Amino acid sequence: MTAKITVIPGDGIGPEITREAVLTLQAAAERFGHTFAFTEALMGGIAIDQTGVPLPDGTVSLCRESDAVLLGAVGGPKWESLPGHLRPEAGLLGIRAALGLYANLRPAVLHKALRDACPLRSELAGDGFDLMIVRELTGGIYFGERGREGNAAFDTERYTVSEIERIGRVGFEQARLRRGKLCSVDKANVLETSRLWREVMHRLRGDYPDVEYRDMLVDNAAMQLVRDPRQFDVIVTSNLFGDILSDEASMLTGSIGMLPSASLGEGSFGLYEPIHGSAPDIAGTNRANPIAAILSAAMLLRSSLGLPAEAAAIEAAVAEAFSQGLRTGDIMGEGCRLAGTAEMGGAVRDAL
């Protein structure tokens, strides 16, 4: 097949990790007989420097003309003094809204070969775990009314029934594709938006009798992820809670550098990115972990291009690279060999 992919390297380590992901996609295309055309676009701090805004109109247009988008990371200390609507992170919120990407899928997998990188005791992590966090992406407190009044500041959490219903259905459908278990996380004992969230989820569960469903308060969910991550299959939750819980889950896999993500809307189009930030302190040093970006590329193949065998081949290649004892610094273990960004990406491609 032929596909057009927009690449947004962004800031900090973004260009380094997206390079490894693009090279891996090219290797997969060669192995399986596809043609992928890549076009780079600006977003984040680099876009501010070159155009004055974090999300140029041309970037949105390029993305809309593509089959999928691969994103690196945005942000850094250089732009922290700017007002909120001009900071690099505003580009992330803007592109999600502009492209209608309301569902964020964040798989967290602990590979058996990385067991020593997990901070949990062996009896808690076992031989590994595999869970999926489904995060609502275009509503909630990140998009609500905000401002300052004198010595006070406010941010507003707001959800509609339709917003909750569409992300809820994504959660149920993901559970059907996996092990058939869905946990809806909220704060219904305190927040009115969470009470509405729970009402809608309880109504939806009737449409999915084959899925085992339960509710969990977010503070308990944070504790349960540490106590027994293997109990979870799919977690569906709000924008804020999903952001926090997925970062917690990432550390259970060994490093935040391990977690990919897919941001989806209606249809097959999606934006794919590692969940970590731009890590400006190690930018340009060949120390960044490219695995989350490479696994994001695998999600792109599976979800937007409909190429599950190709995606599985990349994921298997990642596992093979780990089995050879190669590690970037963030997941380094006893008896392993330290690899830089380029070497780690190259090992994955060799295995592919």
Taking residues 238-245, report their average pLDDT: 96
Active site residue 116: no
For residues 242 and 222, what is the distance between their CA atoms, to the nearest angstrom? 11
CA diameter of the chain: 62
Pairing mode, strands 2-10 and 35-40 = parallel
| pLDDT tier for residue 130 given thresholds of 50, 70 and 90 | very high
Active site residue 67: no
| pLDDT tier for residue 251 given thresholds of 50, 70 and 90 | confident
For residues 201 and 180, what is the distance between their CA atoms, to the nearest angstrom? 16
CA angle 99–63–8, rounded 5-degree value? 110
Backbone angle region of 87, left / alpha / beta, with phi > 0 → left and psi within -120 to 50 → alpha: beta
Closest residue by Cα to residue 71 from 52, 49, 91:
91
- Predicted pLDDT at 128: 81
CATH number of 1-104+260-352: 3.40.718.10
- Predicted pLDDT at 158: 97
- Predicted pLDDT at 94: 93
- Predicted pLDDT at 84: 84
Delimit the domains of the chain by residue range: 1-104+260-352, 119-252
Closest residue by Cα to residue 6 from 80, 90, 72:
72
Taking residues 135-150, report their average pLDDT: 94
Lowest average pLDDT, out of 111-125, 190-204, 279-293, goes to: 111-125
**Segment 257-313, tens digit of pLDDT:** 999 999 999 999 999 999 999 999 999 999 999 999 999 999 999 999 999 999 999
Do 100 and 266 form a contact (C-beta atoms < 8 A)? yes
How big, in percent rounded to 5, are the helix, strand and coil portions of the chain?
Answer: 50, 20, 30
Exactly one of 11, 187, 208, 330 is catalytic; which is it? 187
- Predicted pLDDT at 117: 82
Exactly one of 159, 243, 272, 330 is catalytic; which is it? 243
Exactly one of 207, 219, 281, 350 is catalytic; which is it? 219
Across the chain, mean pLDDT equals 95
According to DSSP, the residues that pair with 36 across neighbouring strands are 3
Residue 121 pLDDT greater than 90, yes or no: no
Q: Which CATH architecture has domain 119-252?
A: 3-Layer(aba) Sandwich (3.40)
For residues 318 and 78, what is the distance between their CA atoms, to the nearest angstrom? 33
Instruction: Locate 151 and state its tokens.
Output: 């010595």
Exactly one of 142, 159, 208, 213 is catalytic; which is it? 142
Exactly one of 116, 130, 228, 247 is catalytic; which is it? 247
Place of tokens 């909120």: 84
**Segment 150-176, tens digit of pLDDT:** 999 999 999 999 999 999 999 999 999
Residue 228 pLDDT greater than 80, yes or no: yes
- Are 1-104+260-352 and 119-252 equal in CATH topology? yes
**Segment 53-106, tens digit of pLDDT:** 999 999 999 999 999 999 999 999 999 999 888 999 999 989 998 999 999 999
Helix (H) or strand (E) holding 15: helix 14-32
- Predicted pLDDT at 181: 98
**At 110, is the secondary structure helix, strand, or coil?**
coil
Active site residue 208: no
What sign has the CA pseudo-torsion 290, 12, 9, 248? positive
Helix (H) or strand (E) holding 130: strand 130-136
End-to-end alpha carbon distance in the chain: 19
Active site residue 219: yes
